[in-house]
Amino acid sequence: MSLSGRTAVVTGSNSGIGLGVARAFAALGADVVLNSFTDSDEDHALAAGIASEHGVTARYIQADMSKGGEARRLVERAGRCDILVNNAGIQHVSPVEDFPVDRWDTIIAVNLSSAFHTTAAAIPGMRASGWGRVVNIASAHGLRASPYKAAYIAAKHGVVGLTKAVALECARDPVTVNAVCPGYVLTPIVEKQLPDQMKTHGMEREEVIEKVILAKQPSREFATIEQVADTVAFLCSDAAAQIRGTTISVDGGWTAS
Ligand code: NAD
């Protein structure tokens, strides 16, 4: 499989799953656009490292996915967007009655509305070029709920709905729209939840991972960044051309139970 000649835009890709997806695309020969809301030397160095390792064009474009206009401009500034991966995401854990309103608004903006804006900006170019892939990184929490994550779960269920609606709008085009639903992957978004969970449960790190975090996952193993990235890459292959408007779980069996 080759993605040579394609340009992939991956939102929220200076870390974790997004960075892994960008690396997987570059390994398949695609030019990549990395993104986050920061604009540091490290961000640009990530892109330069991918370019030199894989011999592709890799750029870092700063854009804040909590702002609709910036999300749309990211796609415009990319110049070309054959593959769009909506990956940027944040989390906040709180009972609904105490959930800070600004956290709710920002999570909905970053985790859901940014995908609406980038997709709206990217679809016309995909239709015009005669090929396109949109892959939304939803979550097992786009299909199942847990307490204290109201905004994240509402946003991820919304992403699954957005995926289905846009896939139907593109059903007669060579443009597919799907969602990947990871279970737990040990990235910064999960690392940040560990100290609170250790305090709440009075457990050490390894015990919290085994008895609290991975309790959701029947395999009792984290999914890896590479497993999620390769699933995204598969959805960009010719074999996946008729996979449309659906979700693929990479969750160790979480949503089977
Ligand atoms: P991560 O924290 O490493 O990555 C999140 C990325 O989003 C980072 O690159 C961050 O800079 C970026 N980001 C945050 N706010 C942004 C903003 N306003 N504008 C632009 N970029 C922004 O965590 P991750 O696990 O790699 O998360 C990636 C995606 O995978 C998220 O959508 C997350 O919800 C989803 N996911 C993760 C897991 C998991 O267990 N790690 C499970 C299911 C789904």
CA 172 to ligand 1 center in whole angstroms: 31
Q: Are residues 34 and 13 in the same domain?
A: yes
Q: Are residues 192 and 126 in the same domain?
A: no
Q: Is the CB–ligand 1 distance for residue 20 below 6 Å?
A: no
CA 87 to ligand 1 center in whole angstroms: 6
CA 123 to ligand 1 center in whole angstroms: 23
Nearest ligand 1 atom to the CA of 110 is: 18
Q: Containing domain of residue 197, as a range?
A: 186-222
Q: Note whether residue 2 is domain-resident.
A: no
How many CB atoms within 10 Å of residue 186? Answer: 15
Q: Is the CB–ligand 1 distance for residue 166 below 6 Å?
A: no
Q: Note whether residue 59 is domain-resident.
A: yes
Q: Is the CB–ligand 1 distance for residue 16 below 6 Å?
A: yes
Query: Are the beta carbons of 223 and 252 closer than 8 angstroms?
Result: yes
Q: Are residues 146 and 213 in the same domain?
A: no
Domain total of the chain: 2
Q: Note whether residue 256 is domain-resident.
A: no
Q: Note whether residue 18 is domain-resident.
A: yes
State both tokens at 57: 């064009």
pLDDT in tens, 60-108: 999 999 999 999 999 999 999 999 999 999 999 999 999 999 999 999 9
Q: Are residues 200 and 152 in the same domain?
A: no
Residue 152 is a catalytic residue: yes
pLDDT in tens, 24-59: 999 999 999 999 999 999 999 999 999 999 999 999
Query: CA distances (Å), 119 to each of 130, 148, 171, in order?
Result: 16, 29, 15
Q: Are residues 171 and 238 in the same domain?
A: yes
